[in-house]
Structure 1
Amino acid sequence: MKLTNYTKEFRYNMKLAYPIILGMIGHTVVSIVDNIMVGKLGPTELAAVSLGNSFVFIAMSLGIGFSTAITPLVAEADGKKSIEEGRLAFHHGLYLCTILGSVLFALIYFCKPLIAYMGQSEEVVELAKPYLDIVGFSLIPLIMYQAYKQFADGLSETKYSMWATILANVVNVVLNYLLIYGIWFFPKLGIVGAAIGTIASRIVMLIFMHYMMNTKTKFHPYFKGFTLKEIKKEINIKIIRLGTPSAMQMLFEVVLFTAAIWLCGIIGVTSQAANQVALSVASLTFMFAMGLSVTAMIRVGNQKGKSDFIALRRIAFSIFLLAVLLEIVFALLFIVFHEYIPKVFVKNNDVIHLVENAEVVSIAAKLLLVAAVFQISDGLQVVVLGALRGLQDVKIPMYITFVAYWVIGFPVSFYLGLYTELKAVGVWIGLLSGLSAAALFLYLRFNYLTKKLITNY
């Protein structure tokens, strides 16, 4: 097949993807802004935010991963032109996401004492605890917001979540500035101020999303008849069967990166702070691949609803190609600017922490070189995973990601990080190994399934 058969889809792919990308960058920017502002307080405060967020990210991965079950169901219903199927997917998805967000907050609250037994600095642990309480509670509005977002994405209406996250970032930055440093008559709360900014921004995001969608005519049929009496066990089970493996897939990857935070914390505070700097930057570029992953989920789900499997395969491969090209560009940028980017995250004229900050910059620069290499495999694996979710194939990919991240990736990170001179760089080489294995095996899975669908149709 000619290359133009794939590249001609780039324009529509990006039309769908760019609001998702901007929205996801918005989520990441909330974290990056926290890191930059908190980083000005010192390496210990930055390490505390990193440790606190490591717990929240684990819970968040379960919630966001579970919510992705809504998008392929709504996209398939949209392909069939069935408003009723889409409405039921939305209502049941929102119901389940509300319950899940509350459960995840409760788990974080009661598991908080565990951070004292993870080999982290006592000073870092004490700073992390109050931060964790507040940011943990923000999971409830965040996971509820995800239900709205995934539903809108399934209808190919991707701009609403973009505007919601832009607004949330404005709220977060303003409150961070006022509350972290104690500007004007506001109290100086340090990292607790950053936590308050985060929870406020997520509540605003949820309220904005509900208001905007509820006022648009297109969404009116989907908002009708939302009562607890209409909740059906069989639809809940269908969403849970799709959502649980998707949640586990995301959990396996997020916990791998969280384990990297913990391993770097064992190596030392500067390694942990450097890991957070490099991870913040890599997460930002990863959002482009995440946006294309959702695009793959939407478009593959639409074609599945139409039973046009030849177009499905062609469209999916066009998204894979676009993702790889974008990630190559980011990899080159990481290589060129790896020594300059980390300096943004530290206070360069801080005499008290001069040596520590210099070490953070040095380590983070090396980590960005490794991140440059895994940009491509990381981008490809998440986009193929989105396409598989669009096919509603989630169980086998769950096993694939577990093996890639935890049988291949983590042992490499553990050994190279703690038992060789590579230290933090060794931890990231393990991440590279796991992501590359995931990209290969998920691609083989998608290739097999789509050929089988075409042959059997």
Structure 2
Amino acid sequence: MFGDYTKEFKYNIRLATPVILGLLGHTFVAFADNIMVGQLGTAELAAVSLGNSFVFIAMSIGIGFSTAITPLVAEADGAGQAADAKSALKHGLVLCTLLAVSLFALMLLCKPLMYLMDQPAEVVALAMPYLDLVAVSLIPLIIFQAFKQFSEGLSQTRYPMYATVIANVVNIILNYLLIFGKMGFPQLGIIGAAIGTLVSRVIMVLFIWLILQKNARFTSYVTGFNFRKLEKKVLSKIIDLGFPSSLQMFFEVAIFTAAIWLSGVLGKNPQAANQIALNLSSMTFMFGMGLGVAAMIRVGNQKGLRNFKELRRLAQSIFLLTLLLEIVFAALFLLGRDWFPTIYLDVQDPVNYVDNMEVLLLASQLLLVAAFFQISDGLQVVILGALRGLQDVKIPTLITFIAYWLIGFPVSFYLGLYTDLASTGIWIGLLAGLSASAIMLYIRFNFMTKRLIRLGSEPQ
């Protein structure tokens, strides 16, 4: 019985690993920015955190919407319908581009909100120009996501990984040159980090399109588009899947963004500590995201084949793999919670010594809570991926809203601002929301798959 699930581990890992590495690449951009900017001081680190909080919300909507492409392509691939897969990519590219430009404009309009959020004045002053450039980078990022989701729908998970690795190399080099003014380049501080992010994301789009075009298997999919001929039926299907998926990701990212803002109310040091803990947690979260994509692909393929018993078995094998992996991450966070934060700050800096010591202590406390929500965070995103593979998105959207905003956020708000728990209380709220989401999403998956198996076994 147990072997029915563990025998799938090898293939699941092989399918998910390139996705995880690609997603880690996105996070590593922020990781590199945080480490390099952290050398400038806690105010600069908090400014990057505040600026990125706006970007993360917009990014979550764009990335969430793009995930609609993967199950459509995976189902078409499973059913042997190549034309439908190409159509999903073409229409997805159009919708993702329009959404990206709209989100960029919306972020510029929302910039003045920083002055109304009770954030430290020096942090806001630094964050405003940083946000301008990072907002532009959303456009190439979301276009890249359309190609990425298409590629993953065809079980080709390596190409997005290659694009992300190259982008990271470019980002780190530009960060080094422009943040600190090395080799004759101007010293731009956090603006240099924003330029590195923008350039690296443009390169990602160009690279993935070129590499897909050069592969004989994919050339016909990514060339010869007639964008003047769009089908309302396909557009509607992508919107029907993509809009709820974007809301799901928005609800989760928004509560973590709310944690950034609530931490900012407590001061620049709590906000900097929150950024450190959030960046570390986001890296382990990418493993869950990658396994969630694997679940979406395998469930989408089996849906195309209408083999619902196998669909359920394959999905549960990925759930089990995720559980075991997240237990390991929880142990790492518990063991390394005092050391990990020291990576981000110059602990020998005499000017910022007092601030840095406070940030290190606070970050260690947050990582203690983060250790406990590793399991629920990983499971909820993998189960969500399986449900997307089933193209079941509306009820899961309601579940994520209830979990994060009716359960998690009130706990964060009250414990963070009205009790002595402060920053730790904010993260206890995150733990509550993630745990509620994991439990309710699994109940939904269990119901849906048992129902499909029952209906599929009935005589037609």
TM-score (norm 2): 0.99
Q: Which residue of 1 aligns with 2:98?
A: 99
Give, in whole Å, the separation in 2 of the partners of 1:367 and 1:218: 47
Q: Which residue of 1 aligns with 2:70?
A: 71
Deviation per CA, 1:295-335: give whole Å up to 9, x if none.
00000000000000000000000000000100000000000
Q: Which residue of 2 aligns with 1:38?
A: 37
Give, in whole Å, the separation in 1 of the partners of 2:232 and 2:124: 42
Give matches, 1:53-68, under 5 Å. 53-68=52-67
Q: Which residue of 2 aligns with 1:423?
A: 422
Q: Which residue of 2 aligns with 1:433?
A: 432
**Bigger shift: residues 217-226 or 293-302:** 217-226
Q: Which residue of 2 aligns with 1:255?
A: 254
Instruction: Answer whether contact 1:51 1:261 (CA < 8 A) is retained.
Output: yes
Q: Which residue of 1 aligns with 2:84?
A: 85
Instruction: Answer whether contact 2:213 2:223 (CA < 8 A) is retained.
Output: no
Give matches, 1:105-124, under 5 Å. 105-124=104-123
Give, in whole Å, the separation in 2 of the partners of 1:382 and 1:319: 11
Give matches, 1:258-269, under 5 Å. 258-269=257-268
The Cα shift of 1:86 comes to: 0.3
Give, in whole Å, the separation in 2 of the partners of 1:376 and 1:97: 31
Instruction: Answer whether contact 1:87 1:223 (CA < 8 A) is retained.
Output: yes
Q: Which residue of 2 aligns with 1:369?
A: 368
The Cα shift of 1:224 comes to: 4.1
Q: AA paired with 1:206?
A: V
SS in 1 for 2:420: coil
**What percent of counterpart residues are identical?**
61
Q: Which residue of 2 aligns with 1:168?
A: 167
SS in 2 for 1:230: coil
Instruction: Answer whether contact 2:212 2:222 (CA < 8 A) is retained.
Output: no
Deviation per CA, 1:391-443: give whole Å up to 9, x if none.
00000000000000000000000000000111000000000000000000000
Q: Which residue of 1 aligns with 2:289?
A: 290
Does residue 378 of the first structure (1) align with residue 360 of the second (2)?
Answer: no
Deviation per CA, 1:94-131: give whole Å up to 9, x if none.
11111111111000111111111000011110100010
Instruction: Answer whether contact 1:102 1:140 (CA < 8 A) is retained.
Output: yes
Q: Which residue of 1 aligns with 2:401?
A: 402
Instruction: Answer whether contact 2:370 2:427 (CA < 8 A) is retained.
Output: yes
Does residue 451 of the first structure (1) align with residue 444 of the second (2)?
Answer: no
Q: Which residue of 1 aligns with 2:26?
A: 27
Q: AA paired with 1:103?
A: S
The Cα shift of 1:221 comes to: 2.3
Q: AA paired with 1:117?
A: L
Q: Which residue of 2 aligns with 1:16?
A: 15
Q: AA paired with 2:283?
A: L
Q: AA paired with 2:87?
A: L
Q: Which residue of 2 aligns with 1:198?
A: 197
Q: Which residue of 1 aligns with 2:208?
A: 209
Does residue 245 of the first structure (1) align with residue 240 of the second (2)?
Answer: no
Instruction: Answer whether contact 2:15 2:155 (CA < 8 A) is retained.
Output: yes
Give, in whole Å, the separation in 2 of the partners of 1:229 and 1:125: 43
**Bigger shift: residues 240-249 or 219-228:** 219-228
Give, in whole Å, the separation in 1 of the partners of 2:224 and 2:172: 38
Instruction: Answer whether contact 1:13 1:295 (CA < 8 A) is retained.
Output: yes
The Cα shift of 1:223 comes to: 2.4
The Cα shift of 1:231 comes to: 1.3
Instruction: Answer whether contact 2:90 2:227 (CA < 8 A) is retained.
Output: no
Give, in whole Å, the separation in 1 of the partners of 2:448 and 2:224: 37
Does residue 131 of the first structure (1) align with residue 130 of the second (2)?
Answer: yes
Instruction: Answer whether contact 1:83 1:221 (CA < 8 A) is retained.
Output: no
Q: AA paired with 1:455?
A: R
Give, in whole Å, the separation in 2 of the partners of 1:139 and 1:227: 25
Give, in whole Å, the separation in 2 of the partners of 1:413 and 1:276: 16
Q: AA paired with 1:10?
A: F
Give matches, 1:208-227, under 5 Å. 208-227=207-226
Give, in whole Å, the separation in 2 of the partners of 1:110 and 1:16: 40
Q: Which residue of 2 aligns with 1:336?
A: 335
Q: AA paired with 2:424?
A: V
The Cα shift of 1:445 comes to: 0.1
Give, in whole Å, the separation in 2 of the partners of 1:61 and 1:362: 30
SS in 2 for 1:229: coil
What is the alpha-carbon root mean square deviation over aligned residues?
A: 0.6
Give, in whole Å, the separation in 2 of the partners of 1:121 and 1:269: 7
Q: Which residue of 1 aligns with 2:386?
A: 387
Give, in whole Å, the separation in 1 of the partners of 2:223 and 2:104: 29
Give, in whole Å, the separation in 1 of the partners of 2:297 and 2:93: 19
The Cα shift of 1:225 comes to: 3.2
TM-score (norm 1): 0.99
Q: AA paired with 1:315?
A: L
The Cα shift of 1:84 comes to: 0.7
Instruction: Answer whether contact 1:67 1:147 (CA < 8 A) is retained.
Output: yes
Give, in whole Å, the separation in 1 of the partners of 2:223 and 2:371: 47
Q: Which runs of 4+ in 1 moved over 4 A?
A: none
SS in 2 for 1:295: helix
Give, in whole Å, the separation in 2 of the partners of 1:224 and 1:205: 18
Q: Which residue of 1 aligns with 2:357?
A: 358
Unaligned stretches of 5+ residues in structure 2: none
Q: Which residue of 2 aligns with 1:308?
A: 307
Give, in whole Å, the separation in 2 of the partners of 1:306 and 1:232: 25
SS in 1 for 2:228: helix
Deviation per CA, 1:326-369: give whole Å up to 9, x if none.
00000000001100000111111110110100000000001001
Instruction: Answer whether contact 1:75 1:301 (CA < 8 A) is retained.
Output: yes
The Cα shift of 1:228 comes to: 1.8
Q: AA paired with 1:30?
A: V
The Cα shift of 1:193 comes to: 0.2
